Structure 1
Amino acid sequence: MDKNPICVSGEKSPGRKIAGLLVLALLAWAIIASGFAAYLYLENERLSASLRSYASRTVLVNIGIDYGNGTIVWFNSTPLPSGSSALTALVAVAKVEYKTSQMGAYVTSVNGVSEKFLSKNEGYSWLWYRYDPGKSQLVMGQVAADKYILANGDVIVWRYEHWKF
């Protein structure tokens, strides 16, 4: 008896059918996987372009709030829209009360800690500082907080300070 039977009806052997289906399944998988990979690549490109656009319209700043009692809270790498001021930075991270005049904004309270007058010559107020890399130190803001426009990487510190004349 012959060990390799011949199909007289012209049909493929069961092993060839399975191999054919397997090749077809692998081909379908390759097409689907390639389509998915192309989709992920295009989506990554779209998101990268969006991120580059976002980065050009924002600044990242570090904001510190020094409550004058040893407590300093930092908000590092805070994203803000380009053109934001030192006041905008504070308002972005804290509950702030302030007054405005022709000279600019004056902060009266940060997170419930309000300015305090002990006499007409002494009190506590909120002052802002900017880190000056050239001097390697904080320098007092030279303009009102709403007049200073932030640059990417700026470090701003708001301090509740005692003053006396």
Structure 2
Amino acid sequence: MEKKIFTYLVLALFSWAIIGTVMAGYYFVQRDMYQREYNEIAKQLTNISLKVDFVLNYGNGTRIWKNDTVLPLGSTAFNATIHIASDVGYQDFGGELGILVTSINGVSQNNTHGWFYWIWEKENTMWLSMPYSCAKYILHEGDLLAITYACYSPWPEGPM
């Protein structure tokens, strides 16, 4: 009787080991297949999207960084602002004047303060304030964009 129980127990453990090995192999192959598919899709996305870094500076010491933000190709600094902030107020003047951001997340422009946008110029290692609407600046792969709430007078020299 004891030998019969031992035989069944060994048979059960052997079956469990074989089934476990087969399942582990199956899941390993599946994981490998999905990893390849993911890498292929990620490669295709790099052809239709770009990554930028973004800092939102409220001018009171609060800065929110969003690094490696993925946006569609052709996105503007305004598109990035809309993507990052939960509430953006703006006025569209149309034509050459374009869009003016008037508030971000409840912080609104007033007689003394407003929202400025800056692009980090890697070659000269300096911040550039663009002389046109944020809706007209087309972002490039790896751009660093800063949106800053600052005083109009004196005119801010940089976003930080």
Normalising to structure 1: TM-score of the pair? 0.70
| Alignment correspondent of 2:60 | 69
Paired letter, 2:104: V
Say how many residue pairs are matched: 148
- 2: CA distance between counterparts of 1:129 and 1:80? 18
| Alignment correspondent of 2:102 | 108
Deviations 1:61-116 (Å, cap 9, x if unpaired)? 22111222333222222233333221121112211111221232211111112121
| Alignment correspondent of 2:158 | none
The structure with more radius of gyration: 1
Paired letter, 1:76: N
| Alignment correspondent of 1:154 | 143
Report the Cα offset of residue 157 of structure 1: 0.3
Pairing 1:125–2:114 present: yes
The runs of 5 or more residues in structure 1 that have no matched partner are 1-12, 118-122
Pairing 1:90–2:81 present: yes
Which one has the bigger strand percentage? 1
Normalising to structure 2: TM-score of the pair? 0.72
Report the Cα offset of residue 138 of structure 1: 1.3
Report the Cα offset of residue 142 of structure 1: 4.6
Of stretches 18-27 and 126-135 in structure 1, the one that deviates more from structure 2 is 18-27
CA RMSD of the aligned region, Å? 2.9
Report the Cα offset of residue 149 of structure 1: 2.6
